[in-house]
Structure 1
Amino acid sequence: MSIRSPLVPALLAAWLLGALPAHGGPVLERIRSEGTITLAHRNASVPFSYLDPQGQPVGYALDICKRLAQAVQQKLGLKTLTVAYLQVTPANRIEAVAQGQAQMECGSTTNNASRREQVAFTIPHYITGARLLVKADSPVDRIDHPQLKKVVSTRSTTPLAALRQAVRVRALPLTIVEADDHEQAVAMVEKGQADAFAMDDVLLYGLAAGRTDPKALKVVGQFLTTEPLAIMLPKDDEALKKIVDDEMRRLIYSGEILGIYSTWFEKPIPPNGSPLNLPVNYLLRDFWKYPTDKVPF
């Protein structure tokens, strides 16, 4: 004879609720009630997040975000989920997510300690480092080259902070100029208004590939930084973060993310149909063996 305790159903229900992502988080509840998820994107962070010739947001990070949005839709049991887009800049991207204007930022944002005070991040989708973009005929090949006098970097970025630190620590005789966005910085190098553009090397390769004459520019120098790039999320919804982290791990372990990567780094991409020819680097390949959102920066 078995005795059925009245506590068993309650305990079972509690366990089931604990095993599922909580639907009561503020961000998830807003997505559920509005039936819309907003993805923040950039205008010139090639190939992560940028505008194609038709003005549509495209890129590697955006393709990943679309997969993450599908996972949110499935977990919430929504028949449809509208994906809206919000263009942001390096200066306002963190504020856009922190203030709820977007639920994910799909670009080339570095996950670091100071930013984690305002927002959350998922597992990195790329690991890179800052180098220099110069004209193809420039003799400059390092940050301390004697002919390097003026360097531009994009406002509110980690490469800009690293550049300032290098100048201060090494007492380099450099003038640092801030650009509003990557496009402006590249144009300054092309016009001779700056000798070099300091930014994540993968972005520099992408920006150069998108110019009218890609061979007119080159990427040089050693890494000034190590940058784990990740999708940015609101800080106040652990349930949303769990869904996103779980889906990122699925994409990595299944190998699906490699197909997305190949599309944007190894095949022809807009606007010129030129491939970047950048296979997965060893830093990212090693990191994806044990994917985590915890980074030592």
Structure 2
Amino acid sequence: MRFLALCCLALAAGASSAQPGDTLEKIRAAGSITIGHRDSSIPFSYVLGTGDEPVGFAIDICKEVASAIKSKLGVANLTVKYQTVTSQNRVPLVQNGTVDMECGSTTNSMARQQLVAFGPNYIVVGVSAAVKKSSGINSFADLAGKTIATTTGTTSIPLLRAYKKTDNVEVSEIYGKDHSDSFLLLASDRASAFVMDDVLLAGQIAASQAPAEYKILPEALRQEPYGIMFRKDDPKLKALVDATVTDLMKTGKIDAMYAKWFTSPIPPRNVNLQFPMSEATKALYRNPTDKGV
């Protein structure tokens, strides 16, 4: 409740003290907001086809924020523009103002908080690995001597390297430019495993040609929270994002949004990820926080 109260107080204070140069004023002047999105972060932020607007759980949350921005600014029309970002360029594009919010599958980490700001965490995921069922791989220890795929610019890379060092597991690393590219390395047997956040692995498996051929290892290298990313030192935007996302949690609206993307059939193949809400995510919704890992 203290977090919610602080959010609302900051939002109310910002209503009467708008200063030129902040993100909300930038959006007001442009008549538009630019949302950074991923093209293959199923089910958070992805596109169904060339030229299509992105869809996903994170996109739906950011649409709520965009609606709140429109109401706060009191504008009749607010154009929502979308800009594709990658694991490598998402932070710089937020910092330089190319995108106003990044709505993808970005871990809220202490290291990233030195560069950008985050709204309340909206899910907790586990960093694990997808393998083929026929591979005989049942644990991270079984990856010794194998080639492992992961996506460039993600937190999975340092976690994998730390695991290798701690457990003396020798593996070769190969990198995909995005999650679909990394999964293709596994599907084509160029890699024996794809290390990534478990729910993203579930999304890639569900979208594959043969979902029954894959499994996700039960182990996790670390639990990580995701959040909406935006520029640092912008208290008015921070207050609005915090209040909007917190309200989704406190009213229970986010529960229906979660069910839509994680426990119901989703496009493009109408496969149900069957990824029920974890106790860690339920705890987030009861007590919203923007704490990073």
The reply to whether TM is greater than 0.5 is: yes
Instruction: Give TM class, smaller chain.
Output: over 0.9
Map 1:95-134 → 2, pairs under 5 A: 95-134=92-131
2:30 is the alignment partner of 1:48: no
State the match for 1:207 in structure 2. 204
In structure 2, the CA distance between the partners of 1:163 and 1:19, relative to structure 1 (3 Å rule), is: closer
Does the 8 A contact of 1:133 with 1:218 survive in 2? yes
2:17 is the alignment partner of 1:18: no
Superposed displacement of residue 212, structure 1: 1.4
State the match for 2:250 in structure 1. 253
The C-alpha deviation readout for 1:126-152, integer Å capped at 9, x for no partner, is 100111111121211111116651111
Name whichever of 242-251 and 18-27 sits farther off.
18-27
Map 1:261-272 → 2, pairs under 5 A: 261-272=258-269
The list of structure 1 runs, each at least 4 consecutive aligned residues, that deviate by more than 6 angstroms after superposition, is none
The C-alpha deviation readout for 1:162-214, integer Å capped at 9, x for no partner, is 00111122211111122211111111111110000000000000110001111
The C-alpha deviation readout for 1:202-230, integer Å capped at 9, x for no partner, is 00001100011111211114110111011
In structure 2, the CA distance between the partners of 1:118 and 1:258, relative to structure 1 (3 Å rule), is: same
In structure 2, the CA distance between the partners of 1:186 and 1:38, relative to structure 1 (3 Å rule), is: same
**Counterpart secondary structure, 1:56:** coil
2:37 is the alignment partner of 1:37: no
Q: For 2:171 and 2:185, locate their aligned partners in 1 and report how far apart those are by CA, in whole Å.
A: 16
2:54 is the alignment partner of 1:57: yes
Map 1:256-295 → 2, pairs under 5 A: 256-295=253-292
Superposed displacement of residue 19, structure 1: 6.5
Does the 8 A contact of 1:143 with 1:221 survive in 2? no
Q: What TM-score comes out, normalization by structure 1 length?
A: 0.91
Aligned-pair RMSD on alpha carbons? 1.6
Q: For 1:141 and 1:273, locate their aligned partners in 2 and report how far apart those are by CA, in whole Å.
A: 28
In structure 2, the CA distance between the partners of 1:284 and 1:146, relative to structure 1 (3 Å rule), is: closer
Percent same amino acid at aligned positions? 37
Q: For 2:14 and 2:208, locate their aligned partners in 1 and report how far apart those are by CA, in whole Å.
A: 50
Amino acid at match of 2:248: L
State the match for 1:189 in structure 2. 186
Specify which of 229, 232, 239 is matched with residue 232 of structure 1.
229
Q: Which has the larger radius of gyration?
A: 1
Amino acid at match of 2:182: A
